[in-house]
Amino acid sequence: MADAHNLEIFRGLIKFKSNTQKIWGVLILLSIVTTVEVVLGIIKPDVLMQNFLSTKILNWIFIILTIIKAYYITWDFMHMRDETPALRRVVVWTAIFLICYLLWILIQEAGYIFNTYDQGHIKTNF
Amino acid sequence: MSSTVSTSSQGEVWAGGNKPMKASYGKLMMWFFIVSDALTFSGFLAAYGFSRFKFIDSWPIADEVFTHVPFLHGQELPMIYVAFMTFVLIMSSVTMVLAVDAGHHMKKAKVTFYMFLTIIGGLIFVGSQAWEWATFIKGDFGAVKTHGGNIIQFVDADSNHRVALKDFAHSLPTDRVQHENNNGIWFMSESSLSSYSLEEVIEGFEKDSTIVIRTQIIEDNEKTVLSREESRTFLKENGKYVVEGANLKDNEYGSPLFADFFFFITGFHGFHVFSGVILNIIIFFNVIVGTYEKRGSYEMVEKVGLYWHFVDLVWVFVFTFFYLV
């Protein structure tokens, strides 16, 4: 295991010489992504405040950046890159399928309940 | 076909020497645990999303809630401290992965040093979270809860900045004291009284004509501010009691669910960090006494490392969904 590290990230765009170097490289990447998130969150550019697929574009950017961070934490810190494809798929797809189902059903229902409050005969503004 | 049984000797298969997917038993079990725990957390976050979309037009704006940084009183610095906490946790993940790497090379001194740094990082994070909870529970401006369960906040009519209750509430003479179960019927008591009663807030509101109220309803990414006249009627007709800070029943930031989920999700995560620190300390001492040196493998560091990175991974999502989105 010890010497079997895959030292490429970005599909080989960046190659590291040693595992230690890769760790620091990934830290820099994660820090940059976090900084971008925080800066965007403070500035909140008007262009990104429009709605797109039922939430703001800015929120979609945050979600995508989060998934990118999650990818690098799992792949490089948790050494998923060095595991067999079978283990990788077992862990990742199980989680992704179940989470997608959960999110779909809950957010769908939440939208329905919101509409009931909003357009129905329930008074909430008192 | 790396997932199939790779050994031909039956004795070894049933004796536990088998490594499906080329991962040891312990590592595989840690991955099992991580997947199931990931589903628990996604259950929480999805439930948070559910409540948020249910109250999409009145949910508290996180930037207005988490604005505090220790030692910088009275300054509005949204997200700075959480970003710091995120960085601390990522950093402790890095030292953990360095410890694992040093373990692969059987360098005991380096593993010890990096494990120590990881523990320190974890403690800083848990401490920060405790501070954040304390600030959240204490609150800063105070608000009034209506009969309909909504929160009314007070703002300056010109600048639109929040005004704290203590800056305008007018003290009235009162005999009202907290009802404790030793005065009266033994099974009846109440929680501590707010610093100002609703009457005092209304009195102060009448005397200070610059104050208007802000409702929970969001329009164009801002909470709706009522005119002075509307504010007076709304406050007098609907105000029920004063809310300061946050608890599980109500909070001055808006929907009670906001605080409930905050306590539940960050609390559950904080508990994970705490148990991670405990595990790290155990491993740290094992490294020092040379358990893994004797065993000839530092795989235990790697297994606990997996858990520790998972805690970091969860925080990345909590950070996004609680503080950014």
A112 exposed, middle or buried (CB, 10 Å; 0-12, 13-18, 19+)? exposed
Domain boundaries, chain B: 37-139+258-324, 143-244
Which CATH number is correct for B37-139+258-324, 1.20.120.80, 1.10.3720.10, 3.50.50.60, 1.10.10.10? 1.20.120.80
Give the chain A residue whose CA is nearest to the CA of B43.
A102
Among B15-24, B133-142, B200-209, B297-306, whose mean pLDDT is lowest?
Answer: B15-24
CB contact under 8 A, A83 and B146: no
Look at residue B14 and tell me whether its pLDDT is greater than 90: no
So what's the pLDDT on residue B13? 63
Q: How close A82 gets to chain B, by Cα (Å)? A: 10
CB contact under 8 A, A114 and B55: yes
Give the chain A residue whose CA is nearest to the CA of B99.
A20
Find the mean pLDDT for residues B180-192.
Answer: 84
A37-62 tens-digit pLDDT: 999 988 888 888 888 887 889 999 99
Among A51-55, B130-134, B196-200, whose mean pLDDT is lowest?
Answer: A51-55
| Contacts with B303 from chain A: Cβ below 8 Å | none
Question: For an interface test with B, which of A24, A73, A122 has the most B Cβ atoms less than 10 Å from its Cβ?
Answer: A73
- The CA distance from B200 to B205, in Å, is 8
Q: For A78, which of B55, B238, B306 is closest by C-beta distance?
A: B306
Could you give phi then psi for residue B132, rounded to 5 degrees?
-65, -40
So what's the pLDDT on residue A45? 87
Could you give phi then psi for residue B257, rounded to 5 degrees?
-60, -30
**Is residue B304 less than 8 Å (CB to CB) from chain A?**
no
So what's the pLDDT on residue A2? 42
Find the mean pLDDT for residues A19-33.
Answer: 91
Look at residue A99 and tell me whether its pLDDT is greater than 80: yes
Q: What is the DSSP letter of B240?
A: E
A64-98 tens-digit pLDDT: 999 999 999 999 999 898 889 999 999 999 999 99
So what's the pLDDT on residue B9? 53
So what's the pLDDT on residue B121? 96
Q: What is the ipTM for the molecules in this complex?
A: 0.90
CB contact under 8 A, A69 and B316: yes
**Residue percentage of chain B with pLDDT more than 90:** 66
CB contact under 8 A, B21 and A84: yes
Size of interface A-B (CB pairs under 8 A): 158
Look at residue A3 and tell me whether its pLDDT is greater than 50: no
Confidence class for position B271, pLDDT limits 50, 70, 90: very high
Confidence class for position B1, pLDDT limits 50, 70, 90: very low
Find the mean pLDDT for residues B299-317.
Answer: 95
Q: How close A31 gets to chain B, by Cα (Å)? A: 7
B16-53 tens-digit pLDDT: 667 778 888 889 999 999 999 999 999 999 999 999 99
Look at residue B8 and tell me whether its pLDDT is greater than 70: no
User: Which one-letter amino acid corresponds to residue B167?
Assistant: D
β-sheet bridge partners, residue A14: A9
Q: How close B97 gets to chain A, by Cα (Å)? A: 6
A32 exposed, middle or buried (CB, 10 Å; 0-12, 13-18, 19+)? exposed
Q: For B93, which of A35, A73, A91 is closest by C-beta distance?
A: A73
| B128: CB partners within 8 A, 6+ apart | B81, B84, B85, B88
